[in-house]
């Protein structure tokens, strides 16, 4: 059974800005969907902000193995309820791939717990993404670096927690560096942030970028059953303790009472 991916895109600049719509006539989500669909092991669906429920629902997410997220100008429009739906699914085991300006998306900041801020410059300069770990599954099939002739610059400090793994570090022509591919685990969910992808450049038509996206889907996929109990805080009654114990001391909770949250 193929991995079920959902590519979520705010899809705003594609409709407002001719530079962007000329580059991505089917939207950034359309370009990514095409790139993923080459792989028989991946099934690609798309969703956009202008759809009912902002393209998201509990049912849809329950059937999603890996979610890809692209947003920029409309981060603030995504409802907090939808952010919580996505966070819950990541904790349960859904993979999440956050792209480029998605560093400032509500869902990425929600899962990182930090500002996720950075420096930037839109000058179409050269970016070189160096592969840090040649044997990492996300770097499969790449050379020692990915070169993008035109990209937006993102510069450190990138205020994220220390990553589990750093897969790519970028060099920029104008003098900056950036941790461009970083991994995390949150609950049973695996998260990959991938830096390039500014909407005014043809990044999502690049063959190496396509490889990274497909590799990342395979890496982020957790085949385990959803860990639905991850939010529970169950009481273990004294009489069901695994080792025999006798109740002692003062008590706050009455028998069978739920814990406080």
Q: Would you state the structure tokens that stand for residue 189, as one six-digit string? A: 């969910």
Q: Would you state the structure tokens that stand for residue 196, as one six-digit string? A: 């390039």
Candidates 24-32, 47-55, 59-67, 88-96; binding stretch for its own copies (CB under 8 A): 88-96
Compare residues 52 and 242 and give the one whose CB is closer to its own copies.
242
Cα 137 off chain centre by? 16
Compare residues 45 and 230 and give the one whose CB is closer to its own copies.
230
Q: Which of 24, 70, 172, 204 binds its own copies (CB under 8 A)?
A: 172
* Residues between 192 and 251 with contacts to its own copies, criterion CB under 8 A: 198-201, 222-224, 227, 229-238, 241-243, 245-251
Q: Which of 51, 122, 143, 205 binds its own copies (CB under 8 A)?
A: 122
Q: Is 70 in the site for its own copies (CB under 8 A)?
A: no
Which pairs count as long-range contacts for 250-259, CB under 8 Å and 24+ apart, including other chains? 259/233, 259/235
* Residues between 7 and 46 with contacts to its own copies, criterion CB under 8 A: 13, 17, 19-20, 23
Q: Which of 31, 86, 118, 216 binds its own copies (CB under 8 A)?
A: 118
Candidates 37-45, 47-55, 62-70, 71-79; binding stretch for its own copies (CB under 8 A): 71-79
Structural contact between residues 71 and 9, judged by C-beta atoms closer than 8 angstroms: yes
Q: What does DSSP assign to residue 101?
A: G
B/e letters for 110-124, b = 16+ CB within 10 Å, e = fewer, are ebbeeebebeeeeee
Shortest distance in whole angstroms from residue 140 CB to its own copies: 6
Q: Is 62 in the site for its own copies (CB under 8 A)?
A: no
Q: Is 84 in the site for its own copies (CB under 8 A)?
A: no
Burial class (CB in 10 A: 0-12, 13-18, 19+), 49: middle
Shortest distance in whole angstroms from residue 218 CB to its own copies: 10
SS3 98: strand
Shortest distance in whole angstroms from residue 146 CB to its own copies: 12
Cα 249 off chain centre by? 47
Q: Is 1 in the site for its own copies (CB under 8 A)?
A: no
Q: Would you state the structure tokens that stand for residue 6, as one six-digit string? A: 């959902």
Shortest distance in whole angstroms from residue 89 CB to its own copies: 12
Burial class (CB in 10 A: 0-12, 13-18, 19+), 19: exposed
Candidates 28-36, 37-45, 53-61, 161-169; binding stretch for its own copies (CB under 8 A): 161-169
Q: Which of 26, 51, 58, 113 binds its own copies (CB under 8 A)?
A: 113
Looking up tokens 């979520």 gives 8
- Other Cβ atoms less than 10 A from the Cβ of 190: the count is 22
């Amino acid at each position: 059974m193929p991995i079920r991916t959902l590519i979520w895109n705010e899809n705003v600049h594609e409709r407002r800005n001719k530079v962007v719509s000329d580059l991505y006539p089917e939207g950034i989500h359309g370009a990514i969907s095409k790139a993923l669909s080459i792989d028989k092991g991946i099934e690609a669906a798309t969703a956009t902000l202008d759809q009912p429920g902002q393209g998201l629902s509990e049912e849809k997410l329950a059937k999603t193995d890996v979610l890809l997220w692209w947003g920029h100008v409309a981060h603030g429009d995504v409802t907090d309820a939808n952010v919580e739906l996505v966070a819950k699914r990541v904790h349960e085991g859904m993979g999440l791939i956050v792209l480029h300006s998605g560093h400032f998306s509500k869902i990425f900041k929600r899962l990182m717990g930090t500002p996720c801020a950075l420096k930037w410059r839109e000058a179409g300069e050269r970016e070189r993404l160096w592969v840090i770990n040649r044997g990492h599954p996300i770097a499969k099939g790449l050379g020692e670096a990915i070169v993008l002739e035109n990209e937006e610059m993102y510069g450190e400090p990138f205020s994220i927690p220390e990553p589990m793994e750093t897969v790519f570090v970028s060099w920029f022509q104008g003098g900056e560096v950036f941790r461009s591919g970083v991994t995390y685990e949150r609950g049973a969910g695996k998260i990959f942030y991938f830096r390039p992808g500014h909407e005014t450049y043809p990044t999502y038509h690049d063959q190496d970028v396509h490889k990274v996206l497909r590799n990342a889907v395979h890496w982020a996929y957790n085949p385990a059953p959803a860990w639905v109990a991850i939010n529970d805080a169950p009481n273990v009654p004294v009489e069901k303790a695994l080792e025999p114990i006798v109740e002692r001391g003062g008590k706050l909770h009455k028998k069978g009472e739920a814990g406080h949250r």
